Amino acid sequence: MTPITPMPSALAFELVARCSTTKARAAILTLPHGPVQLPLFMPVATQASLKGLTPQQLEETGCRLCLNNTYHLGLKPGQEVLEKVGGAHKLQGWKHNILTDSGGFQMVSLLKLANITEEGVRFLSPHDGTPMLLTPEHSIALQNTIGSDIIMQLDDVLVTTSPDTKRMREAMERSVRWLDRCIAAHANPTKQNLFCIIQGGLDLQMRTECCKEMVARNTPGIAIGGLSGGEAKADYCRVVNTCTGLLPEMKPRYVMGIGYPEDLVVSVALGADMFDCVWPTRTARFGNAITKHGVLNLRHARYANDFGPVEEGCGCVCCRTGDGGLGITKAFVHHVAAKETVGAHLLTMHNVWYQLALMRSVRQSIIEDRFPAFLKNFFSDLHGGDKSKYPEWAVEALKNVGVDLME
Amino acid sequence: MAASNGFPGAGRKIAFEILSHLDANVAGPRLGKLSIKGRHDVETPNFFAVTSRGVIPHLTPDVISSHTHIGGVHMALEDFVERAMGGTPPVVNCPGPSPLHTFTALPKSLPSLLAPRRTPAVSAPNGNSNSAISIFTSTGFQVLSNKSYISYVENLRPDIAISLADIPYGALPGTKRVAKMGDRTQEWLSQLINEKREEQVIFAPVLPIDYLDQSEYLNNIADEQADEVSGLALYDSNLLPDIPATTAITKLPRLSLDEPSSPRQILRQVSLGMDLFTVPFIGFATDAGIALTFRFPRPLPTGVAISNGVGALQLGVDMWPAVHATSVTPLDTSCSCYTCTSHHRAYVQHLLSAKEMLGWVLLQVHNHHILSEFFAAIRESISSGNFDADCEEFGRIYESELPEKSGQGPRVRGYHFKSEGPSEPKKNRPAWGNLGSDDQEASSKLVPDEPAAELEGKGFAEKMED
Ligand SMILES: [Zn+2]
Ligand SMILES: [Zn+2]
């Protein structure tokens, strides 16, 4: 094992409150481009833009930390342009924080011919078939050029549902070795925070080993990876619960690829702090509005004459009336959805606001130590008060951290 | 002293004040102010933004409020009535005193102008009849009778409604057809005037045919209806010098629906005395990825001046080419719009190249701003008496037409939605779909297409030794 040296960090983590029942926490994470409040949802601005929103509009949703995807930025505009322009913040005119992934996950899922060796991710250039290689060193160099506030290690990603235990162990152990290469390659540890990514599939023993190895590397933050890939949610919850139990209290914990509201609130109860997902913004393009009573598809004819706001009581710029609010109705979104991009922009603003506001109220309830009551209200609203509709996995997972939704 | 048309206190919602050029018998550029109750005043010459389905393409209402200075908006009834066959179109059911405004979340300060058809309009395969025209909705062609148009105007309460015009889009009308056009349009206008609420403001259409072929109709407006009509909407600006120069007619604001294809054509129409414009070329330029850069009458000292190589300056800059990829200068260094003060060419070029919707948003904000500045400069020029000389200078300095768009643009409207089905993951499934990847939208464009050496050069990955 590599000798352990304390790693420089470019963040400060301040624990503000702990839920007295569940494992939920409220914290302030201060990053190079300002503080963010945890728990936190991060919208995904894949190619340095969030689905038609201006950075100003994104800022107005309350967002202070968003994602860019390294794979996409590496292709367009590419490292050379990013270097000349001065990084991703300057490229997109974003004054706040950015997190980038390693690019490995997208490479594996987008390039069908990619495979993983000890050196890195091998693939054939789709242009001319030339064999190419993405290494941990490449990924870090690219993220150093992007200048994101949080950068992710390149990991050996395998779907959690893979039945191949031997391959799963190989991936977990390789991810640890790649973390060492990423740490060694990281050029700006005092300006950018490298997060490790815990692997090990659904095997709790393997996850435990990985946590131990990676925690020892002392990165400024820790991600739990390889989830949201099709596993049963009960299994997902067991993995998150196991990992958070082994992670140091004074570091942020990021579960990658999570975005459904019920997944967010349960994951917070299990002790996770940060989440990202393309779903809220992608689903906006299909005319879907996220509300506390569930997702509404506003393209449905039943909304053609619905002159109420997208969500009653919502504080987003679209739903608000008066004082700079736009007073957008479901009928109007229905009128433009799928016909003018403005329809998607409006729902994107609403959906991002919804996700951020949800996390704000989760945080407030933790601070006021009424998070269990919050959870009960949340599930009641989502399922119209009908407990028989509550998802079993959520009931089970919350019971394990002391909240009985059924009582 | 200013000439004023409008009767405040007599139920009229509109007043048009001509601030210069009082001599009704001399054609020429003029300054004016259009005041509509409850909306901001519009200094003329000026333009109304073109909408599609009630929105200025790419711009949400908050962006319109914060980042544009447009005079008002032009809306087309045909964008709202695709459901008319099966019942009442939803816009009609919208509550409140200004249903069209409320339905479209149009900023309250902006005047709305309702026309039966879009500008530009798609030509209809079936002609018009004595009582109805053909319109094109999102679900296909439909017949719109004057009777229902009058009822829509009554229900939607636009600030200004243009009366139905008998225009055979697409085909040049024959002699017999031409004779009918004036008659029908006059008939439809009279019906609207008779049946409308008193405070509803009406603009009368001027048809795109010779003056003599519609003289009876136009003289009737001058003689009988000048008090009922609050403005003229000209489908052909060349008719302007022929309009009867009675005091009552001269006092009316004039709206051009002539679809100028260049700033030079706008200037020509202004010189004939046009007051208000719709300018579809703003949207064409935006969709083609072109940032407009022309100023009136000449570039600002700090501005862009790109020569086409033969002495004349380009009217805009194509933002697609890779030369902009590392340029951290604004689209136009002399521009004070949101795009130019917050972003640079490199970002816009990246967004276009990545087909991100924000690219067109930023261009649309900038291009509308350039047109607002253009009209402000025109007003300034008229006011200082230099308009003719300034037009001459503009014509000498700038190219006559917009730059050619390069091969990559423009985007097809709605392209994001056409290629993809509504296959969304269901709520509350016990397991996830593959949410983390973006491959649904990515498969077509997010696989590297450059040679390996180029990818290596970008730092994306390295070539492997065999
Ligand atoms: Zn909302
Ligand atoms: Zn500008």
Predicted local distance difference test score (pLDDT) of residue B306: 63
Q: How far is A138 from chain B (nearest CA, A)?
A: 6
Predicted local distance difference test score (pLDDT) of residue B20: 83
| CATH number for the domain running over A39-283 | 3.20.20.105
- The candidate with the shortest Cα–Cα distance to A321, out of A309, A331, A332, is A309
Q: How far is CA B137 from the centre of its chain?
A: 18
User: Region A248-265: what's the mean pLDDT?
Assistant: 97
Q: Which residues of A touch B464 (CB under 8 A)?
A: 122, 131-133
Contact A342 B102 (CB under 8 A): no
User: Region B216-222: what's the mean pLDDT?
Assistant: 94
Burial class (CB in 10 A: 0-12, 13-18, 19+), B140: exposed
| Residue A276 is a catalytic residue | yes
Helix (H) or strand (E) holding A123: strand A121-124
What is the Rg, in whole angstroms, of the alpha carbon atoms belonging to chain B? 24
Q: How many helices (H) and strands (E) does chain A have?
A: 15, 16
| Residue A386 is a catalytic residue | no
Predicted local distance difference test score (pLDDT) of residue A331: 98
Residue B1: pLDDT band with limits 50, 70, 90:
very low
Predicted local distance difference test score (pLDDT) of residue B446: 59
Longest C-alpha distance within chain A, in Å? 66
Name, in order, each residue with C-beta under 8 angstroms of A3's C-beta and a sequence gap of 6 or more: none
Residue A132: pLDDT band with limits 50, 70, 90:
confident
What separation in angstroms does the CA of B433 have from each of A77, B55, B231? 29, 34, 58
- The candidate with the shortest Cα–Cα distance to B204, out of B194, B215, B190, B183, is B190
Q: What's the complex ipTM?
A: 0.96
pLDDT in tens, B159-205: 999 999 999 877 678 888 898 999 999 999 999 999 999 999 999 99
Q: How far is A16 from chain B (nearest CA, A)?
A: 30
Handedness of CA B175, B179, B180, B184 (dihedral sign): positive
pLDDT in tens, B126-146: 889 999 999 999 988 999 999
CB nearest B90 (choices: A77, A294, A304): A304
Judging by DSSP bridges, how do beta strands A274-276 and A253-255 pair with one another?
parallel
CA of A61 to the centre of ligand 1 (A): 10
Contact A331 B90 (CB under 8 A): yes
Hey, is the C-beta of A110 within 8 angstroms of any chain B C-beta? yes
Q: To the nearest whole number, what is the mean pLDDT of chain A? A: 94
Residue B310: pLDDT band with limits 50, 70, 90:
low
Predicted local distance difference test score (pLDDT) of residue A267: 98
**Distance between CA atoms of B365 and B370, rounded to whole angstroms?**
9
pLDDT in tens, A70-88: 999 998 999 999 999 999 9
CB nearest A339 (choices: B53, B83, B362): B53
- Could you tell me if A142 and A88 are in contact, meaning their C-beta atoms sit under 8 angstroms apart? no
Q: Which residues of B touch A86 (CB under 8 A)?
A: 328
Task: Assign A109 to helix, strand or coil.
Answer: helix
pLDDT in tens, B268-290: 999 999 999 999 999 999 999 99
Q: How far is A212 from chain B (nearest CA, A)?
A: 26
Homologous superfamily (CATH) for B45-397: Queuine tRNA-ribosyltransferase-like (3.20.20.105)
User: Region A152-168: what's the mean pLDDT?
Assistant: 86
**Distance between CA atoms of A85 and A106, rounded to whole angstroms?**
24
Residue B253: pLDDT band with limits 50, 70, 90:
very high
Domain coordinates in residue numbering, chain A: 39-283, 291-397
Q: Which residues of B touch A54 (CB under 8 A)?
A: 63, 338, 342, 358, 361-362
Helix (H) or strand (E) holding A185: helix A165-185
As residues whose CB is below 5 A from the ion ligand 1, the structure lists A 310, 314, 316, 318-319, 350
Predicted local distance difference test score (pLDDT) of residue A241: 98
DSSP secondary structure of A286-306: TTEEEETTEEEETTSGGGTT-
pLDDT in tens, B223-235: 999 889 999 999 9
Q: Name the percent of chain B in helix, strand, coil, to the closest 5.
A: 35, 15, 50
Q: Which residues of B touch A282 (CB under 8 A)?
A: 438, 440-441
* Type of residue at B31: L
**Distance between CA atoms of A275 and A255, rounded to whole angstroms?**
5
Helix (H) or strand (E) holding A345: helix A341-367
Annotated binding site of A: 101-105, 155, 199, 226, 314, 316, 319, 350
Predicted local distance difference test score (pLDDT) of residue B25: 61
Q: To the nearest whole number, what is the mean pLDDT of chain B? A: 86
CA of B388 to the centre of ligand 2 (A): 27
Task: Look up the pTM and report it.
Answer: 0.93
The residue of chain B with its CA nearest to that of A144 is B459
Domain coordinates in residue numbering, chain B: 45-397
Predicted local distance difference test score (pLDDT) of residue A163: 81
**Active-site hit among A203, A276, A306, A404:** A276
Q: How far is A233 from chain B (nearest CA, A)?
A: 6
Is the pLDDT reported for residue B21 higher than 80? no
Q: Which residues of A touch B55 (CB under 8 A)?
A: 336, 340, 342
User: Region B378-387: what's the mean pLDDT?
Assistant: 96
Hey, is the C-beta of A56 within 8 angstroms of any chain B C-beta? yes
Predicted local distance difference test score (pLDDT) of residue B301: 85
User: Region A282-305: what's the mean pLDDT?
Assistant: 97
Is the pLDDT reported for residue A280 higher than 80? yes
Predicted local distance difference test score (pLDDT) of residue A228: 78
Predicted local distance difference test score (pLDDT) of residue B305: 63
B154, two tokens: 């009554």
pLDDT in tens, B314-339: 999 999 999 999 999 999 999 999 99
pLDDT in tens, A89-117: 999 999 999 999 998 888 777 766 678 89
A167, two tokens: 């391959």
